[in-house]
Amino acid sequence: MHFAGFVAQLLNGFQYGLLLFLIASGLTLIFGVLGVINLAHGSLFMIGAYAAFVVVKATGSLWLGLPVAMLGGLLLGAVLERVLFRYFYAREHLDQVLLTFALILIFEEARALFIGNDFHAVPVPAILDFSIPITAGFSYSAYRFLVIAVCLALAGGLFWWIERTRMGAIVRAAAEKPEIVNILGIDAARVHLAVFAVGTALATVAGALAAPLTSVYPNMGDGLLIISFVVVVIGGLGSVTGAFWSALLIGLIDTLGKAYGPSFQGTALGNAVAALAAMAVYVLMVAVLLWRPTGLFGQRP
Amino acid sequence: MDKPAREVLLETRGLSRSFGGLAAVREVSLTLERGELHAIIGPNGAGKSTFVNLLAGEIRPTAGRILLQGRDITAEPVHARAHLGLARSFQRTDIFKSLSVLENVRLAVQAVALPASRLLGGPRGAPELKERAIAALEKAGLPDGHKRIAGTLAHGQQRQLEIAMTLASAPSVLLLDEPLAGMGPEEGERIAALLRTLSGEHAILLIEHDMDFVFAVADRLTVLVEGGVLESGRPEDVRASPKVQQAYLGGHA
Amino acid sequence: MSAPHRMLPTDWRGALGLLAGVVVLAALPYFVASFYVGLITTAMIGAMLALSLHLLVGATGLVSLGHGAFYGLAAYMVYLVSPEGAAQPIWITLPVAMLSAGLAALVVGALSLRARGFFFLMVTLAFGQMIFFVFHDTKLGGGTDGAYLAKPLLSVAGLTFDPTSLPRSKRSWPAYYVALGQLVVTYLLLALLLRSLFGRVLEGIRVNEHRMLALGFATYRYKLAAFVIAGTLAGAAGHMWALHSGFVNPEIVGWHKSAEALLYILLGGLGSLAGPVVGALAFTALGEVAQQFTESKLLVEGLIVLAAVLVLREGLTGLFRRTSRMEDFGEGDDARADETERSNG
């Protein structure tokens, strides 16, 4: 195993974990506070990535693309909450699953209609298009460092919102006990709107940040959605702190598993190891659920 | 009523349960004999509900043991206790609201009386389940209206249905958690009469708020306060106990 | 005497309706182009998968997002025992497909049924994805590209029926009629199961599992039995897919397959066993009609799902039953509402 390569994989895993956190924190808040299973959350990520692609293509500036993805996400989230989701808070899981499945189909098709089904690369901003030398013979992409920095800043902002503001306190309380919002006589509609809009914006920003790393392509949010659910379940429903640690854990395990798993392939045992590495996060999730059915940071019922 | 042979059906020894350091039930030891109606009273928060849930197996004790007919059932899951002859009713009516009255009770019979080998047959192949269900309904004072959807019954009738479901498995021990909750005086009188006839065949552990009712039907009383037993004995003795008068009856009844 | 089961026809009119549906399906190949015969075969396979899932969703109240994995796994098993150029008779491939799907369901069910509600949904999803990745990320079944397989031979008692002996326009007929037969058998099996005392237990679990436990039902075992039966029947549907298409790829294992099956159930109507069949056929038909007008098939499908969730609360079959059954069920169906947590005071 090459040491510099290993450090690079660790950094990749860290950066991937932080992106996962942006997606999963919205998912966990939306489930915890609103009680909605949002399968379309991966599509929101996809929308953010395509928003960045469109802006970069038109203006050449990712610096514009990021705020557009963020504000657009807030707006999109607010509209979705007002028009659709608020009618589904009290509905069956099955209805929520299908509502959001329908949204996936609609978002994907809209993407195909407006932009098409091709892969598109999104250039890294010229100013960051270089590598930072870490040690002799090993350097790491400057843009990835930016992604890490932005993710950390956003995570910091989110924790500040949740921990230090009045609405944050309500959100925390509601994630533990959704009825509390009604008991306290708080304007529940406002809290719901804020949570959904913020959750959506976090996903779209994550998409915009990821666009230069992964390119944009159809169904790009699909794999991330499932992984984000794994993050939420392992972290514990409604727990942003849980989502943070579990996102980092999953980011590392998934990255290292995918990087080093295939190298085992060849023998029968090696193939099994490789397959196991490919689905390591799912194995982990099942193990956590059997051990602690409400996740690592979840409230015990 | 005389009881020639004393036979302990249910017994707890030092039963305790705490939630996060807070003791909800502490060191409760009591017995329930065949043919006896043993009532547990106590102010709100005295641990009565926790005690019933411990007996039924919904929650696990932090210490102590539960014996049913001499057999240790402390570790048995909820459903296994039903098969060993323990049946309970719930304080908040817990029935199958969208099923018919008959089906509610028929399921209760099926739970204990149907061998797995006959599961794939239809209900018509097991008429005895229906007969036993009807008998339980009649006993609980619901002789007709069996096709009605349970959720459409009046509250008092739902309480009676709840009792019918408890009786249906022909249990040796009945745990009745506030069977009068939300009932009118007339319905209450009917339940009192029912309990008196039932206590001949079953051992009944009754949790109840209504003092007049408790003193009218119980053979024995246990007063719980802050999770522990304050006093236990015949109703007239408990009523006369200064401890009880001071701690409970004086203030709340 | 009360109805045999909430989800089955209550009177002769309903039964006659079902029979008429089967007759129409049986006659259809004589009236439509070969392309549509294939299309309806696909729809009937979707209906079988959704029917098997309905034993969990409609009858027991368990929403699983991993059901498609048993279907896909079974199809892949057909590929593994009869890869391209090495056809096996159906009496080998079908049991292999069903047994492997049932066995997988036993393992997945035993673990995931320890979780409830949202967590059950997630665990089934995770297990489904694990099976998906086995075929997606390894070379076992041709990887991401999928693989062609030898369609199982339609052999009975030593006699093999060869579809290529038919004129070209009728080559899709055998698969069609096998699928129709299997669909009818699946429905009848499930109907018998629902009518049985076992079905009554599942209904009790759906309405109020907590009470079932207190009555003495070991609900976990009943749910596991239902899960395994549903998985085995999904395996039969997956076998039919292999027989019909002769091709497997990871898409048939992924969670979209499960969501599609849930969609058929909801569109057709949760309250009826015939719902998934109606849903699958209607969805296919609507998609086909939509394609006449627009390129955006997914958009139309998404809008149909949206409409089904927003407007058709009881599905298409609910439209027919509404009038006749109102008085039996009182107002609204609060049956599934009482899954609320019960505190231990």
Evaluate if residue C323 carries a pLDDT over 60. Answer: no
SS3 helix, strand, coil % of chain B, rounded to 5? 40, 25, 35
pLDDT band at B250 (very low <50, low <70, confident <90, very high): low
Which residues of B sit within 8 Å Cβ distance of C?
Answer: 49-50, 53, 56, 58-59, 77-83, 88, 90, 92, 94-100, 103, 106-108, 110-112, 114, 118-123, 126, 147, 149, 151-152, 165, 169
Neighbours of C289 (CB within 10 A): 10
The region of weakest confidence among A167-181, B34-48, B128-142, C58-72 is A167-181
CB within 8 Å: C344 and B78? no
Question: What's the whole-number mean pLDDT along residues C138-155?
Answer: 84
**Separation between Cα atoms, residue A298 and residue A294, nearest integer Å:** 5
Q: In the prediction, which pLDDT does C330 show?
A: 34
Please report the residues numbered 233 through 272 in chain C whose beta carbons come closer than 8 angstroms to any beta carbon of chain A: 255, 259, 262-263, 265-266, 270
- The two tokens of residue C140 are 């076992």
Residue that has been written with the tokens 């409604």 in this structure? A238
Q: Give me chain A's average pLDDT, please.
A: 86
C216 to chain B: which residues are within 8 Å by CB?
Answer: 79-83, 111-112, 169
**Separation between Cα atoms, residue B54 and residue B50, nearest integer Å:** 6
Q: In the prediction, which pLDDT does C195 show?
A: 92
DSSP C187: H
CB within 8 Å: A279 and C133? yes
pLDDT band at C1 (very low <50, low <70, confident <90, very high): very low
Q: In the prediction, which pLDDT does C231 show?
A: 98
Evaluate if residue C137 carries a pLDDT over 80. Answer: no
Evaluate if residue B210 carries a pLDDT over 60. Answer: yes
Touching, A vs B (3+ Cβ pairs under 8 A)? no
The angle formed by the CA atoms of residues A93, A97 and A99, to the nearest 5 degrees, is 115
Q: In the prediction, which pLDDT does C326 show?
A: 38
Evaluate if residue B155 carries a pLDDT over 90. Answer: no
* Neighbouring chains to A with at least 3 Cβ pairs closer than 8 Å: C
Neighbours of B71 (CB within 10 A): 10
Q: In the prediction, which pLDDT does A151 show?
A: 93
Which residue in the set C4, C198, C215 is minimally distant from B120, CB to CB? C198
Q: What are phi and psi of C132, to 5 degrees?
A: -55, -50
Q: In the prediction, which pLDDT does A299 show?
A: 61
- The two tokens of residue B200 are 């001949």
Whether the CB of A223 is below 8 Å from some CB of chain C: the reply is: no
pLDDT band at A185 (very low <50, low <70, confident <90, very high): low
CA B235 to chain centre: 19
Q: Give me chain B's average pLDDT, please.
A: 87
Q: What SS3 state is found at B51?
A: helix
Instruction: Show Cβ contacts of residue A287 under 8 Å, excluding neighbours closer than 6 positions.
Output: none
CB within 8 Å: C208 and B96? yes
How many alpha carbons fall within 13 Å on the CB side of residue C44? 29
CB within 8 Å: C211 and B94? yes
Residue B87 C-alpha, separation from nearest chain C C-alpha, in angstroms? 7
The region of weakest confidence among A107-111, B82-86, B144-148, C302-306 is C302-306
Contact criterion met (CB below 8 Å) for C200 and C78: no
CB within 8 Å: A97 and C259? yes
DSSP for C40-80, please give it.
HHHHHHHHHHHHHHHHHHHHH----S-HHHHHHHHHHHHHH
Question: What's the whole-number mean pLDDT along residues A170-174?
Answer: 80
Evaluate if residue B215 carries a pLDDT over 50. Answer: yes
Question: What's the whole-number mean pLDDT along residues A276-298?
Answer: 79
Q: How far apart are the first and last CA of chain A?
A: 44
Q: What SS3 state is found at C318?
A: helix
Please report the residues numbered 96 through 115 in chain C whose beta carbons come closer than 8 angstroms to any beta carbon of chain B: none
Residue C296 C-alpha, separation from nearest chain B C-alpha, in angstroms? 42
| Inter-residue long-range contacts of A256-263, CB under 8 Å, 24+ positions, other chains counted | A256/A9, A256/A10, A256/A13, A257/A281, A259/A9, A259/A12, A260/A1, A260/A9
Closest C-alpha among C80, C71, C57 to residue C276: C57
Which residue in the set A104, A109, A237 is minimally distant from C118, CB to CB? A237
Q: In the prediction, which pLDDT does C333 show?
A: 37
Q: In the prediction, which pLDDT does A198 show?
A: 94
Which residue in the set C126, C259, C309 is minimally distant from A230, CB to CB? C126
Closest C-alpha among C176, C174, C196, C172 to residue C184: C176
Contact criterion met (CB below 8 Å) for B11 and B30: yes
Residue A37 C-alpha, separation from nearest chain C C-alpha, in angstroms? 8
Residue of chain A with shortest Cα separation from C114: A290
Contact criterion met (CB below 8 Å) for B161 and B142: yes
Q: In the prediction, which pLDDT does C342 show?
A: 31
pLDDT band at C237 (very low <50, low <70, confident <90, very high): very high
CB within 8 Å: B98 and C197? no
β-strand partners of A133: A139
Residue C306 C-alpha, separation from nearest chain B C-alpha, in angstroms? 28
- Range with the largest mean pLDDT of B225-239, C58-72, C139-153: C58-72
Instruction: Show Cβ contacts of residue B162 under 8 Å, excluding neighbours closer than 6 positions.
Output: B89, B90, B93, B94, B95, B179
- Across B94-109, b (16+ Cβ under 10 Å) vs e yields bbbbbbbbbbbbbbbb
Q: Which residue has the higher pLDDT, B249 or C317?
A: C317
Q: In the prediction, which pLDDT does C101 show?
A: 97
Most C CBs within 10 Å: which of A84, A224, A279, as the mutation test of the C interface?
A279
Question: What's the whole-number mean pLDDT along residues C286-313?
Answer: 81
CB within 8 Å: B98 and C329? yes
Residue of chain A with shortest Cα separation from C125: A226
pLDDT band at A195 (very low <50, low <70, confident <90, very high): very high
CB within 8 Å: B94 and C210? yes
pLDDT band at C334 (very low <50, low <70, confident <90, very high): very low
Residue-wise pLDDT tens digits, C6-19:
888 878 888 898 99
DSSP A238: T
pLDDT band at C261 (very low <50, low <70, confident <90, very high): very high
Closest C-alpha among B153, B113, B115 to residue B136: B113
Contact criterion met (CB below 8 Å) for A78 and C242: no
Q: In the prediction, which pLDDT does C337 show?
A: 34
Evaluate if residue C242 carries a pLDDT over 60. Answer: yes
Q: In the prediction, which pLDDT does C324 show?
A: 45
Whether the CB of C17 is below 8 Å from some CB of chain A: the reply is: no
Residue C37 C-alpha, separation from nearest chain A C-alpha, in angstroms? 26
Q: In the prediction, which pLDDT does C339 show?
A: 33
pLDDT band at A182 (very low <50, low <70, confident <90, very high): low
Touching, C vs A (3+ Cβ pairs under 8 A)? yes
Q: In the prediction, which pLDDT does B12 show?
A: 94
Instruction: Show Cβ contacts of residue C305 under 8 Å, excluding neighbours closer than 6 positions.
Output: A98, A99, A101, A102, A105, C263, C266, C267
Whether the CB of A53 is below 8 Å from some CB of chain C: the reply is: no
CB within 8 Å: C114 and A290? yes
pTM of the model as a whole: 0.88
CB within 8 Å: B114 and C2? no
DSSP A86: G
pLDDT band at C332 (very low <50, low <70, confident <90, very high): very low
CB within 8 Å: B97 and C215? no
Q: In the prediction, which pLDDT does C340 show?
A: 33
Evaluate if residue C343 carries a pLDDT over 70. Answer: no
Question: What's the whole-number mean pLDDT along residues A18-43?
Answer: 91
Q: In the prediction, which pLDDT does C138 show?
A: 76
Q: In the prediction, which pLDDT does A1 show?
A: 52
Question: What's the whole-number mean pLDDT along residues C303-326?
Answer: 71
CB within 8 Å: A93 and C118? yes
C129 to chain A: which residues are within 8 Å by CB?
Answer: 226, 279, 282
Residue-wise pLDDT tens digits, A95-143:
898 899 999 989 998 898 888 888 888 888 878 888 888 776 777 888 8
A109 to chain C: which residues are within 8 Å by CB?
Answer: 296-299, 302
Q: In the prediction, which pLDDT does B186 show?
A: 80
Whether the CB of C133 is below 8 Å from some CB of chain A: the reply is: yes
Instruction: Show Cβ contacts of residue C185 under 8 Å, excluding neighbours closer than 6 positions.
Output: none
Question: What's the whole-number mean pLDDT along residues A178-200?
Answer: 80
Residue of chain C with shortest Cα separation from A113: C296
Whether the CB of A266 is below 8 Å from some CB of chain C: the reply is: no
Please report the residues numbered 301 through 320 in chain C whose beta carbons come closer than 8 angstroms to any beta carbon of chain A: 301-303, 305-306, 308-310
Whether the CB of C127 is below 8 Å from some CB of chain A: the reply is: yes
**Rg of the Cα atoms in chain C:** 20
Question: What's the whole-number mean pLDDT along residues A39-55?
Answer: 94
Which residue in the set A109, A286, A293 is minimally distant from C302, CB to CB? A109
Evaluate if residue C2 carries a pLDDT over 60. Answer: no
DSSP B247: I
Give the number of beta-carbon pairs within 8 Å between A and C.
123
Question: What's the whole-number mean pLDDT along residues C93-115?
Answer: 94
Which residue in the set C122, C137, C309 is minimally distant from A99, CB to CB? C309
